[in-house]
Amino acid sequence: MFLKLFKYDFKGLGRWMWPVMIGIGGAAVLGFLNTLFLGGTSRLDTSSAGASVMLMSAVGGTALVAMALAAAVTVIFVLIFVKFYKSMVTDEAYLTFTLPVTAGQLIGSKFLAAAVWTLIGGVVIACASCVIAAGLLISGGPELREDFFWILGDVADTLLENLGTVLLFFLFSLIRSIRGYFQITCAILFGASVVRKYKALAAVGMVLAVNFAVNLILSVFGAAGLFPLVFGMDYGFGAGGSLSLESVLWIQIAVDAVLVAVFWWWSWHIAKKSVNIE
């Protein structure tokens, strides 16, 4: 039943996500063409007014495409949480809570669907960025391509030399993202459960309140020296330091893992009251 529930949540979220993905693809094509045009205008005589206008237009178009790709990340996250709100709080929740599934399955399915669509969105945005970068390399000439691949090789060597730290930072980012998801969805459920009217406003307010409370509590613990919150020299990084970057990351991962468990249990406890079979 969980697999059917996941397919339902995945398709439901997909109806909102596919237009965004298509828009990202369109932006990539426009960005590719614009970078080719930018490469052509850069070789014009900029002393003429017409050439200057064309060059400024090409630069402005490239900047707009870059801003559109950055905005797409925000749109994806907003759609995920709006869909969660609609399926768990609004009239649509009546159908959700009549399904023969447990509260844990409901929460897990929606998280998995959101995670898969986030991964798809990340891949699409990365491909779009590569398409635009290809346009820049084609129009930039051999010198730009040579410099680009030299920098790319240098970055790859640095990452391989510090592969352990890179993987640890990836794990930290993953756990932090999962914590953020459950923190927001838990706040949405809690806010909507304590306020009968204006549930949307209550959910948004609770998201802000929970975020402020969590950051405040972590800041207090950090100030007390129980665990570091900021990567800074105050913690003595380096050979002679008292705390390595890896230690800081592991502490952060442990704290976030505990918070994931807390927010998941809290979400489950709220949703359990509404599921018919529990």
Chunk the chain into consecutive blocks of 10 residues (it has 278) and report each block's average pLDDT, rounded to whole numbers. Answer: 85 91 89 74 51 61 79 91 87 71 87 94 91 80 77 86 87 93 92 82 90 84 52 43 71 90 92 62
Euclidean distance between CA atoms 65 and 30, whole angstroms: 8
Q: In the prediction, which pLDDT does 18 show? A: 92
Contact 69, 128 (CB under 8 A): yes
143: tokens are 């010198």
CA 204 from chain center: how many Å? 18
Contact 270, 93 (CB under 8 A): no
What is the Cα Rg of the chain in Å?
Answer: 24
The pTM for the full model equals: 0.79
The structural domains of the chain, with segments of one domain joined by +, span 1-141, 162-278
Euclidean distance between CA atoms 278 and 275, whole angstroms: 6
Distances, alpha carbon 233 to alpha carbons 69, 167, 241, in Å: 34, 22, 9
Q: In the prediction, which pLDDT does 277 show? A: 43
Q: Dihedral, CA atoms, 265, 270, 274, 276, nearest 10 degrees?
A: 20
Euclidean distance between CA atoms 195 and 122, whole angstroms: 35
Q: In the prediction, which pLDDT does 180 show? A: 93
Q: In the prediction, which pLDDT does 232 show? A: 44
DSSP summary character for residue 235: G
Q: In the prediction, which pLDDT does 234 show? A: 44
DSSP summary character for residue 234: G
